[in-house]
Amino acid sequence: MKSLKLLRLTVPIGLAALTLTVAGSMSTASATTYWSYRNDYEGQCLVSSTASNKVWSDTCDDSLATRNWYWGPDSYTRNFDQTVFRRLVSKANGLCLTTDSETATNAVWMSPCGNAPGQWWSGDGNELNCDIGVGAGQFLRTSDNGAAVYATEYGQSGIDPSRWVWWGAHS
């Protein structure tokens, strides 16, 4: 009689656990957090192409994959200030935001995630800062030339400081 009561309690609980497991509700996998980045100066969002390596700013619509980004799993911490850098990956194409240190106004593009030094970004402090390993970091900013975005040292003369400010929101 005692075993029959125990069976009546354990069978429904076991079936419920099995159903949840099959449905994925008890899965240990976590969902990816997607971010959109809105520029303070122009109110536009960082966008990547689905068909090319282009990056620009455009109207914000978080439902579009081209406006959604996620932080890659690899990271490193810069020794002198403990800033954590990761690769910023586009949901639209799976490529990483990339820049270089060739000029005072550096191009920004999408490229396969790998060992390129211009792929390590930090989103701390409402800025997107790229540590390219050559001294001063490069900060993502918008341009007064339409929808272009560039990576430059912060505070270049004649550029409104709010062009370097990016407000991140996640879903």
Q: Which amino acid is at 95?
A: L
pLDDT computed for residue 134 by the predictor: 58
Report if pTM > 0.85. no
Query: Which residues of the chain, if any, have pLDDT below 70?
Result: 1-30, 134-136
Architecture per CATH, domain 35-170, reads as Trefoil (2.80)
SS3 82: coil
Looking at every residue in the chain, the average pLDDT score rounds to 83
Task: Write the DSSP string, 7-32.
Answer: HHHHHHHHHHHHHHHHHTTT----PP
pLDDT, tens digit, 9 for 90 and up, residues 38-76: 999 999 999 999 999 999 999 998 788 999 999 999 999
Residue ranges per domain, the chain? 1-30, 35-170
The number of beta carbons lying within 10 Å of the beta carbon of residue 138 is 24
Q: Are 88 and 96 in contact (CB under 8 A)?
A: yes
Bridge-based pairing state of the strands 69-77 and 84-90: antiparallel
